[in-house]
Amino acid sequence: AGEDSVRSGPRSGAGSAVLAEKAAAAGPDEEEDDEASPLFVKLNGIVEDVFKVGLAAAVFCFLAMVALGIVYPSFRGCGEEGCWDFLEVEWLHLIEYMLTAITVLAVAVPEGLPLAVNLALAFSSQQMMAQNNLVKHLDACETMGSATTICSDKTGTLTANRMSVRAVRVGGVTYSAAGDSKRSLGRQLVELLPEKLAHLLAHLICVDTMDESFLEVNEATGATGFKGNPTECALLSLVAEMGYDYAALRHDTPGRSLATAARGKPFMFSSKRKMMSWAVPLPRGGYRVYCKGASEIVIARCDAMLSASGEAAPLSDAKRQQLMETVVRPFAGEAYRTIALAYRDLPGVKSA
């Protein structure tokens, strides 16, 4: 790689390549060990502290026994002739004192503590697996068991893993689920929008969503379940409220159905583009590219906006700024995830 290439953290693709190159150059003996979990870091600290205390206790016991068993008897009853006789000292007691000190040190070292912790985490993983929560690494048990507070963003779906469309801005008019208690948001769109514009909205959502995102109806209870991306499932649920069958629309669209998938081209969502696109062929020739993504990204790429009648009107920079200030930011202020939908017709490519 060149000197001006940018490499990021160790968990990114480029960062992993750099780490692999360093590990290969350093050799197997110099490779960096995996980072220990917080629990085992604290555990190692406790073991070190206990070892230090045990070592201090062993040294203190050894010195005390030497003083009381050797030094003190030798100096007791000292006279003018002196009181220290090297030959009369029972030096064999010194070995006993050393063995006693070593025993104190050995008992103080908690060698079974890491094993007990591993057994506890292993038991925890079994309990989690019984609750359909598969754990591949014991560290995951530690992390989840130590959690006291869960912080999620404003679009988190931790409760039921479901999302719903709460408001739609189309044709210059905002439709809200809270604005009409008698009609769902989907019914409002069908009844108040021109049929052409409502069909275009439903068709755009159905085409520009992944196959892995779909709605599943429980035959026993009749409840509709989400499978796949919660955001896309919420959009598909809106299509269902509008009275359209998303599976039928996908099947009837050349380049989107399984039989004609080779004629279309998907561009999946990425953090760099912040949008997803799907190009499908048009009956009269050419292609139509459907797109959905972050509002600020999609709006910046658009040069026209559909009016209430379904006609395209030019979209100036001032109008873009107005949309951001009067629509996107108020929606974001209500803790909504703002998504923009757009399309563009492209001419066909002539073969050589």
Query: What tokens were used for 130?
Result: 């019984």
Q: Pseudo-torsion of CA 120, 124, 126, 130, nearest 10°?
A: 160
For residue 293, the cross-strand partners are 275, 340
Indicate the angle between helix axes 195-207 and 230-241, nearest 10 degrees.
Answer: 150
Half-sphere exposure of 12 (CA within 13 A, CB side): 8
Find out whether 309 and 172 touch, Cβ atoms under 8 Å.
Answer: no
As a whole number of Å, the end-to-end CA separation of the chain is 37
Cα 283 off chain centre by: 42
Quote the CA–CA distance of 258 and 270 in Å, as a whole number.
Answer: 23
Which among 4, 34, 153, 317 is annotated as catalytic? 153
Residue ranges of alpha helices (H) inside the chain are 13-26, 38-66, 72-75, 92-108, 113-130, 138-145, 185-192, 195-207, 230-241, 246-252, 295-301, 317-323, 329-333
- 153 assigned to active site: yes
Quote the CA–CA distance of 246 and 235 in Å, as a whole number.
Answer: 10
Query: What tokens were used for 237?
Result: 């649920």
Q: Which residues are catalytic?
A: 153
